[in-house]
Chains A and B, each alone.
Chain A
């Protein structure tokens, strides 16, 4: 009799466990994805956390960018410019947050105001005076004209979510409008999501997704190879060839707006001299670097993938003779024959800080290549590998430092110039000051014609080249690699777009 009871108990417990688990259909439509970064919060208004929310397919913006960097409708189905400082947007009818609450103009107003109150980056995109909401209509009033408002509204900082939730809930599980809904969030570890049943743009193919942070690019490669994850993004170019078997994997690669740039500190005693900056620019062997890191050799600030990045003249092809001539002419001679040129009797030794951006070792390859290239023209570079470059960039205690920057994060050329090249910009890493460039950037802000904007951007880009402000090394390819059973995963050139409703699992 006792045995019978035990058997019944086993059946009961077994049945309970089966009932608690996913159905076979749900398990089949589950995706595991490895990301290089999961933020400490998921609050769109905090730092760059909105980018993570956008990548995981939870957060969406009023307008978005297509593959050609053009603004297309998002949560707003129509938008128009009323005058130089006024914009009207209409929010889609019958649009709901994932918690079922309807989205109207007031929600948009609350999100935009919260972004401006909580994140100083917002003001650099456009100078918002007021937002007015009535039903599904939203009016944006700016203090100063801005020709890039629509593009900049694509930035995940301006994600639309249910701002009536508490700050705590917004930081962990904000209710948004994207194809996925967060069910669990562990800061810098993982995010679990399920399909958003209220999604406005059609049926979501996947039932659930588990995103895990795998910071190291090589570890992401191994995670995909051993089947721990079904999808990874941003792996090193040198490892893409490991996934060439179409039976096992699918690779989606595209040249994006990201540029490997080496910032030169214009307050450095050596690099404030344009001759040294120009000589360095001529000494960098970009083609050989690109053979190792992938992508295209950089010809200027803007990637060739961008509509206005194509025909910027390349001021600095590899030319060691020219680099040596510039330094000889400027009077920097190696008098003590130690292989290093001197400035005022002091060896020209530059401190180069590099960090493994996106968990990739490419920054180290670029640093060592430039170190070797610079040695050929008598300039010495000491490489310092650090975990985080933010403090060094902020304090200016460097001669050179590596970066992997999206030079047109919203498809428009203006914002990157605003953030990094205005004399008084908070992100003016190079400490470069040029009144003429400032005037052109300000002119760009109030220019609305797209062709004129692009022409101005090219002018600024060429002036930056003329002054050899920084070393533009290469334009980065972006990639998404999946097991072959994952369908519909396409790498978007804008890297804050990743998960879409169309990604599915083919269990064949």
Chain B
């Protein structure tokens, strides 16, 4: 009982922090004290003070405002990518695991081929061919990452298909759609969600990494990874340019990783 309460409290705190981050991301534009795009050369590379809490960057833009507005970009991109890969992976995994046969063989071999590419290198190659940009990069990462969810879903579906209650449902005349979405999906969804929560942090880091390389977010839109790239040249002369976006990225990724752990403990205690 005591253990349950402790883990529950932990989940509550971490969820609260995650919700706070979401709220900040949504309200960032309104909370930002200055226009994150407004260039003011007179304020260039100003260290943190009362008027600019996080200091200013090379073009005199307020870093706090850029961090707040950048949260929206980072969160929306991550969630968009997560939604795409989870939905695509889930649907394909359900079909492969349930239908089996040639469909399963062909799709799984395609997944094997895509898994052979390291995701970041693949994203760099796609951005090289299609051109740098947020959607090209999200597309490239999604192209590799859906396979993980497809394979996980497929193995769970194959496992569940052998269960007696599924056979009973089939004998009782339940259709394929009903079996898949009423009897199988609710059983596997917690595992998929736990995985998605655990992946959020690494996806955010991957996107920030690609923005750092100049392949995802393009200037002047504020994005944490791109802000880190811009600060590289001033790492020693204006360290606040790197410190604040770096800290925020670190904390966000840490919160989502902890949230994933808590959700796993709660929803999928067997794998703890």
Q: Give chain A's interface residues, CB within 8 Å of chain B.
A: 217-218, 221, 236, 238-239, 241-242, 285, 288, 291-292, 360-361, 364-365, 367-369, 371-373, 382-386
Contact = CB atoms under 8 A, between A and B. Distances in A.
B220 A238 contact: no
Interface string B216-231: 0011100000000010
Nearest to B41: A288
Contacts of B44: 288, 291-292
Given A360-B233, A361-B232, A384-B218, 10 more contacts: A218-B232, A218-B233, A218-B235, A292-B44, A365-B59, A373-B39, A382-B218, A383-B218, A383-B219, A383-B220
B33 interface: no
A367 B58 contact: no
Interface residues of B, number: 19
Contacts of A238: 58, 233-234, 237
B39 A361 contact: no
B219 A364 contact: yes
Nearest to A221: B236
Contact of B218 (A218, A242, A385): A385
A344 to B, nearest CB: 25
Interface in B55-79: 58-59
A365 B58 contact: yes
Contact of A368 (B214, B220, B235): B220
A384 B58 CA distance: 19
Contacts of B236: 221, 239, 242
Contact of A371 (B214, B219, B237): B219
Given A367-B219, A385-B214, A239 B233 contact: yes
A372 B219 CA distance: 10
A291 B237 contact: no
Nearest to A382: B218
B132 interface: yes
Contacts of B234: 238
A368 B230 CA distance: 11
Contact of B39 (A360, A369, A383, A384): A369
Contacts of B16: none
A190 to B, nearest CB: 24
Nearest to B42: A288
A369 B38 CA distance: 11
Nearest to A385: B214
Contact of B132 (A239, A360, A384): A384
A353 to B, nearest CB: 10
Given A239-B237, A288-B41, A292-B44, A369 B59 contact: yes
Interface in B192-249: 214, 218-220, 230, 232-237
B39 A372 contact: yes
Interface string B119-162: 00000000000011000000000000000000000000000000
Q: Interface SS of chain A: helix, strand, loop or mixed?
A: helix
- In this complex, the member of B132, B233, B235 whose beta carbon has the largest number of chain A beta carbons within 10 angstroms is B233
23 contacts: A218-B233, A238-B58, A238-B233, A239-B237, A241-B237, A242-B237, A285-B41, A291-B44, A292-B41, A292-B44, A292-B58, A360-B233, A361-B230, A361-B232, A367-B219, A368-B39, A372-B39, A372-B59, A372-B220, A384-B132, A384-B218, A385-B219, A386-B132
Contacts of A239: 233, 236-237
A22 B236 CA distance: 36
A406 B105 CA distance: 59
- In this complex, the member of A365, A371, A385 whose beta carbon has the largest number of chain B beta carbons within 10 angstroms is A385
Given A241-B237, A372-B59, A291 B41 contact: yes
A371 B220 contact: yes
A257 B264 CA distance: 63
Contacts of A372: 37, 39, 59, 220
Contacts of A365: 58-59
A288 B220 CA distance: 18
A385 B236 CA distance: 24
A383 B58 CA distance: 17
A288 B44 CA distance: 9
Contacts of B214: 385
B51 to A, nearest CB: 20
B219 A368 contact: yes
A188 to B, nearest CB: 19
B109 to A, nearest CB: 33
- In this complex, the member of B131, B214, B219, B234 whose beta carbon has the largest number of chain A beta carbons within 10 angstroms is B219
- In this complex, the member of A236, A241, A372, A382 whose beta carbon has the largest number of chain B beta carbons within 10 angstroms is A372
B68 to A, nearest CB: 19
Contact of B233 (A285, A291, A361, A367): A361
A260 B110 CA distance: 48
A423 B220 CA distance: 35
A372 B237 CA distance: 23
A20 to B, nearest CB: 40
Contacts of A360: 233
A352 to B, nearest CB: 10
Contacts of A242: 236-237
Interface in B240-262: none
Contacts of A221: 236
B38 to A, nearest CB: 8
A173 B232 CA distance: 36
Nearest to A216: B232
Given A382-B218, A383-B218, A383-B219, A368 B233 contact: no
Contacts of B232: 218, 361
A384 B220 contact: no
B14 to A, nearest CB: 36
Shortest beta-carbon contacts, A-B, top 4: A288-B41, A385-B214, A372-B39, A361-B233
A365 B39 CA distance: 12
Interface string B18-51: 0000000000000000000101010010000000
Contacts of A373: 39
Nearest to A219: B232
A382 B233 CA distance: 22
Contacts of B39: 368-369, 372-373
Contacts of A367: 219
A182 B9 CA distance: 68
A291 B220 CA distance: 20
Nearest to B233: A361
B233 A236 contact: yes
Nearest to A355: B214
Contacts of A241: 237
Nearest to B39: A372
A5 B69 CA distance: 74
A368 to B, nearest CB: 5
Nearest to A288: B41
